[in-house]
Amino acid sequence: MRTALQLLFLLALAAIPGSLLPQRAVQPLQVQRYLINHPHLGPIFDRLSLFDVFAAPWFAAIYGLLFISLAGCLVPRIRLHLKALRSAPPKAPAHPGRLRFGHTYTTDLPPQEVVQRAGSMLRGMRWRVATTDETVSAEKGYLRETGNLIFHIALLMLLLGVGLGSVYGYSGTVLVVQGDGFTNGLISYDQFKAGALINSDKLTPFNVHLDKFDATYLPSGEPSTFGAVVTARNGLNSPTRSDTIKVNHPLAFGSAKVYLIGHGYAPRFTVRDAKGNIVFQQHVPCTPRDSMFTSTCVVKVPDTGLPATKATKDHPSHAQQFAFDGVFFPTEGLDPSEGFVSTFPALNAPGITIRALVGDLGLDSGIPQNVYVLPKGLTQVTTSGPAGVNKAAQVLAPGNSDPKAHTLTGLPNGYTLSVDDALPFVTFQVKSDPYKKLVLLAAILVIAGLITSLRVRRRRVWVRAKPDGSGRTLVEFGGLSRTEVDGFDEAFSQLSRRLEGETCR
């Protein structure tokens, strides 16, 4: 038990980073933002699995050891408790009246009558009773240990349920722009984690289409309500149904549930060549970085037709692509000290500061990349925008009726960039845990067992009746509490008065 308590404390200690740091399974965008804001500390935390605490090998090791330790200490305790349930209460001491809680009196009833009446009274009060010719031994409070064992068995069930859920369950996160959707398949997810015994090719078939995202805010900018209006279908041959996914109101597909865990904005970036042909057009999700949804945007344009760099002795030739980075403001405002800021989280007066870069994005290398981070070595280019020609970040106004207000010109080879509008996006988490009912049952039993073990009191009483030599019967009544000694005074006094009333009639 000492080892189990130490491991339980260690498990609680190991879970602290999971509450202090964002976790990939729940907050993938926040993890990405943390890595960007902490370029030195973030990778170290990532290598230590501090962004995936509850799936880390070291956390699983503590978890497994705690499970084994609990099982090891419960088996002998259950055996001893079953033995105690079958055994009789301990024999009465020679002089129970001399105990700390003791009472002595005389009666005209014979000893056998006193023993019979005392035993009947205690049995009626649900005490376990054993009698001899002159003594009564009684005990109650066995439910205390039973509750304690139920608590620990339920804790073991809880660990087992969580463990089985991690083996047979899965979770995935997907970012969906309004007007788009996803299917419950491995290829749809941005982040996906499956249990060791899950076949990722045979997930529960369903698809969800995001029709509209509604959000309301208080005048202070604090969120009031969120809701993702979706159209869903349980497979190809099933009818569609409309629903609204809200915080703490997921959409269920059997054991899988779709949760709304985040949202933001995705401006539409359009790149055209010198002839006006569209070479890139896409709503690009931007990463929110404050409560007013000031968001960081990164755009990578894979195919631009730009000429490759000339090869030199030290540097081989490489392809060139366009890249854009900037900051998006749902409701743009100007702060004298901070510059452009977002004054409200709703999409009231959108604006974006953006700069253009040229270079090798490494998109043809075949190496997976972080879509929110630009590689080093890119060259910033001079552009023309609403404020004129400069190399600094240009300020555009998406959704403005004047094309010049949201268009960036002066890019190499006559290319242009326009930020036409912005749509909301949401982040869904799909989570399947087929053993959650076992976890719920275990949690209920944990509470029930804990309450029982704390409320029930283990107590023993004895009665010894024998002739006093003067024709009367000397009755000695004593007791003790194995849990709360200080709280036994009043209970023993009431029991003594009742016993004396039963045996003196």
Q: What is the pLDDT of residue 317?
A: 57
| 176 pLDDT more than 80 | yes
**Distance, CA of 84 to CA of 79 (rounded, Å):** 9
pLDDT tens across 342-388, in order? Answer: 999 999 999 999 999 988 887 766 666 778 888 888 889 888 888 78
Q: SS3 for 199-258, per residue?
A: CCCCCCCCEEEEEEEEEEECCCCCEEEEEEEEEEECCCCCCEEEEEEECCECEEECCEEE
CA angle 41/45/49 to nearest 5° reads 170
Strand 332-335 relative to strand 321-329, pairing: unpaired
The pLDDT value given to residue 318: 63
- pLDDT value, residue 137: 93
pLDDT in tens, 128-161: 999 998 999 999 988 888 998 999 899 889 888 8
Buried-exposed string 94-127: b where 16+ CB fall within 10 A, e elsewhere: eebbebebbbebebebebeebbbbbbebbeeeeb
What pLDDT digit, counting tens, does each position of 68-93 carry? 888 888 888 889 888 888 888 989 99
pTM value > 0.75: no
Q: Give yes or no for residue 482 having a pLDDT over 90.
A: no
Q: Which residues of 68-81 are buried (b: 16+ CB within 10 A; e: fewer)?
A: ebbeeebeeeeeee
Task: Look at residue 309 in the predicted model and tell me its pLDDT.
Answer: 59
More confident residue, 189 or 486: 189
Residues 6+ apart with CB under 8 A from 460: 89, 90, 137, 138, 139, 479, 480, 482
Q: Above 80 in pLDDT, residue 33?
A: yes
Short-list 124, 142, 169, 30, CA closest to 83: 142
pLDDT at position 237 over 90: no
Q: Which domains does the chain have, with CATH numbers?
A: 88-141+457-503 (3.30.310.220), 267-423 (no CATH)
Per-residue pLDDT, 227 = 94
On whether the CB atoms of residues 107 and 114 are closer than 8 A, the answer is yes
Q: What is the mean pLDDT of residues 279-296?
A: 93
Task: Answer positive or negative: Cα dihedral of 163, 168, 169, 170.
Answer: positive
Kindly report, residue by residue over 444-469, the tens digit of the pLDDT.
999 999 999 888 888 999 999 999 88
So what's the pLDDT on residue 316?
58
